Amino acid sequence: VSPAADPAVISPQDPTLLIGSSLVATCTVSPDFPLKAEDLYWTLNGRRLPAASYAALGPSTLSVALARLNGSRQQSGDNLVCHSRDGGILAGSCLYVGLPPEKPVNITCWSKNMKDLTCKWAPGTEGETFLHTNYTLKYKRRWYGQDNTCQEYHTAGTYSCHIPKDLALFTPYEIWVEASNRLGVAVSDVVMLDILDVVTTDPPSDVHVSRVGDLEDQLSVRWSSPPALKDFLFQAKYQIQYRVEDSSEWKVVDDVGNQTSCRLAGLRPGTVYFVQVRCNPFSIYGSKKAGIWSDWSNPTAASTPRSERVVGSCDPKGGEQNTTLRRELKQFFGWVKKHAYGCSNLGIKLYDQWRVWLQKSHKTRNQVGKEP
Amino acid sequence: STGDSWGIFTFLCAALCNLPALPALNCSEELGAGQSIQQTYDLTRYLEHQLRTLAGTYLNYLGPPFNEPDFNPPRLARAERVPSATVDLDLWRGLTDNARLAANYRAYSRLLCYLRVLDGQVGTAELRHRLAHFCASLQGLVLSIGGVMSSLGYPLPAGPAAPPAPPGAPAAPNDFLKKMDDFWLLKELQTWLWRSAKDFNRLKKKVPPAVVTLRLEARGF
């Protein structure tokens, strides 16, 4: 048979407090229960509180004094419990001890192909607030009064939000983030931007790297401009980065401008190179500001030719290299048998594809330099 | 792992048969009732396993003493709204197949409702994610039980109970009591899964597949 009334009442019930504050809580046993103040004791998060901090305020009321409270152990609140002598739980109160939030900072936004807007930010507090903090991203068109609230959170990390539609071009937006918890609210500084100024796009497609005839030190790179932006007036600038197969150091070609091809020169003969291209759609509709660089395209591999004459001075480990090459060729032909089904096109391209596959399957290197 | 494929199976089942009231032949037509019972049994074991991780995480979120192994708070009157699995042994033995299945169906339908409310209130992203996954699996169990009942020709109990009282009404009057409610919800869920495994084991022995096909034909399905 369960009692109709709760056995006891704690005051304050579920209070919110600043770190370092003190609290006096009371437990009053219901008149239906034959318990007196001396039959009670307190625990906080499962640990018994010292009797020295108790005081009987009445025949069936016991108080406890808590001083200089630390931040809550869990975000659901510290569990302050009033027990009867045999350990039974009579009542409990959740203490929320923490700090008000600080202004969120570092708001950065980008738009994929002018269709949407994603923003991310950082919480202001270096450490923790100990309380659950809610972040709301808000935006409005300047001079148009109405605030909008972003709905899709965590799309690009914990502190991010995605606005999928109904965004206007050629108009400045005001964007800010509100952080709130039980102890207060903090609003970030307002960021002003025009969607056209923060456009990014997909990486260039169809990146092809090929030899330039027999030239040993050159490779030709060709690509297509990203299809998503083909209907818009924009100038793209591109960047190419390339590295030697065995190195993790990327070389960057910066001044590629608006072309969709480029020739790499000064390369080592007979070497496999990995090449990536990325795009920046600046000057959309005549905007003078730089856009945002896309991700790098998937790496494409190609090798420079090596002339027949192998000069001794260039290959100090000549003999060693021959056996390595033979071993590699053996492995290569084995791979071809498995994957090419007797295809007679054992061209250099296939060999290069195999080198890329070898790289990936050994996982010897990671890509370097994704961000500027 | 096997666990993951079961999870996907139940989720697909939930996605495909949205309403419990759909003719269950869509879901279990190809399987004899015997096989459905086996699958329901397997589902309860899978859920039991999933619950262990979910409960561990959730109780840590509630904080001590809730996550202490010997924690045993009083069950106050209000906690009775969660259907209890514990039942007199003779009573349990004497249950008809219909009653046995119906008790399971009703219990999990209600438990699912309460869990979904929890999902809306809980603090951390990790917990919400785990809860959502568990709810999907639990939904699959409810549908599976419904499928067994229909294939045996039993009517489904009146649809899942209406969602728990609107917020503010008999919801817990304070945060600590709510934590206790949450604790008991998880405990009852655990007890039900233990009990269901025994329920379905018992049903397995009593329902051979061949008998079922005949019964279906006789009823003109």
Q: What are the residues whose beta carbons fall under 8 Å from the beta carbon of B193, sequence distance 6 or more? A: B44, B47, B48, B51
| B24 in a structural domain | no
Structural domain ending residue among the three candidates A304, A333, A358:
A304
A126 and A193, same domain (yes or no): yes
CB neighbour class for A116 (10 Å; exposed up to 12, middle 13-18, buried from 19): middle
Q: Tell me which residue of A38, A28, A36 sits closest to A5, measured CA to CA.
A: A28
Count how many domains chain B has. 1
Under a CB-based contact definition with an 8 Å cutoff, are residues A106 and A176 in contact? no
Task: Give me the mean pLDDT over the B49-66 stretch.
Answer: 95
| A148 in a structural domain | yes
Name every chain A residue with its beta carbon within 8 A of the beta carbon of B63: 45, 73-74, 76-79
A287 and A237, same domain (yes or no): yes
Per-residue pLDDT tens digits for B110-160: 999 888 888 777 678 788 888 999 999 999 999 999 999 998 899 998 755
CB contact under 8 A, B125 and A43: no
A94 and A109, same domain (yes or no): no
A236 and A189, same domain (yes or no): no
Instruction: Give B193→chain A minimum CA distance, Å.
Output: 25
Per-residue pLDDT tens digits for A185-239: 999 999 999 888 888 888 988 999 999 988 888 999 999 988 877 776 677 889 9
| B59 in a structural domain | yes
A210 and A189, same domain (yes or no): no
CB contact under 8 A, B179 and A81: no
What's chain A's length in residues?
Answer: 372
Name every chain A residue with its beta carbon within 8 A of the beta carbon of B61: 74-76
Helices (H) and strands (E) in chain A, counts: 2, 26
Under a CB-based contact definition with an 8 Å cutoff, are residues A74 and A131 in contact? no
A140 and A206, same domain (yes or no): no
Instruction: Give A118→chain B minimum CA distance, Å.
Output: 20
Of all residues in chain B, the one with the smallest CA distance to A2 is: B77
H-only helix segments in A5-44: none
A205 and A140, same domain (yes or no): no
Please give the ipTM for the structure prediction.
0.75
Of all residues in chain A, the one with the smallest CA distance to B172 is: A6
Q: Is A79 on the interface with B (CB under 8 A)?
A: yes
**pLDDT for res A192:** 94
Per-residue pLDDT tens digits for A165-181: 988 888 899 999 999 99
A207 and A292, same domain (yes or no): yes
The enclosing domain of B126 has a CATH number of: 1.20.1250.10
Instruction: Give B27→chain A minimum CA distance, Å.
Output: 34
Bridge partners of A81? A43, A92
Q: Is B63 on the interface with A (CB under 8 A)?
A: yes
Which has the higher per-residue pLDDT, B60 or B80?
B60
| A128 in a structural domain | yes
| A147 in a structural domain | yes
A179 and A210, same domain (yes or no): no
Count how many domains chain A has. 3
Per-residue pLDDT tens digits for B178-220: 999 899 999 999 999 999 999 999 998 877 654 444 444 444 4
**pLDDT for res A289:** 73
- Structural domain of B95: 33-72+84-162+173-206
Residue A354 has pLDDT above 90, yes or no: no
Residue B100 has pLDDT above 90, yes or no: yes
A109 and A158, same domain (yes or no): yes
End-to-end CA separation in angstroms for chain A: 69
**pLDDT for res A233:** 63
A86 and A71, same domain (yes or no): yes
| B220 in a structural domain | no
Q: Is A1 on the interface with B (CB under 8 A)?
A: no
Q: Containing H/E element for A41?
A: strand A40-44
Separation CA A70–CA A68 (nearest Å): 7
CB atoms within 10 A of CB A240: 23
Judged by average pLDDT, the poorest of A112-126, B18-32, B61-75 is B18-32
Q: Is B171 on the interface with A (CB under 8 A)?
A: no
Name every chain B residue with its beta carbon within 8 A of the beta carbon of A3: 76-77
Q: Tell me which residue of A79, A282, A189 sits closest to B62, measured CA to CA.
A: A79
Name every chain B residue with its beta carbon within 8 A of the beta carbon of A74: 60-63
| A325 in a structural domain | no
CB-nearest partner of A76 from B63, B76, B180:
B63
A271 and A217, same domain (yes or no): yes
CB contact under 8 A, B64 and A93: no
CB contact under 8 A, B176 and A79: yes
Best of A44, A49, A74 to disrupt the B interface (most B CBs within 10 Å) is: A74
Structural domain ending residue among the three candidates A248, A273, A304:
A304
- Structural domain of A91: 8-98
Structural domain ending residue among the three candidates A63, A98, A133:
A98
The enclosing domain of A55 has a CATH number of: 2.60.40.10
| B54 in a structural domain | yes
| A167 in a structural domain | yes
| B145 in a structural domain | yes
| A367 in a structural domain | no
CB contact under 8 A, B62 and A76: yes
Per-residue pLDDT tens digits for A113-159: 888 999 999 998 766 789 988 999 999 998 887 999 999 998 988 89
Q: How far, in Å, are A324, A346, A353, A355 from residue A329 at the CA level? A: 9, 12, 13, 11
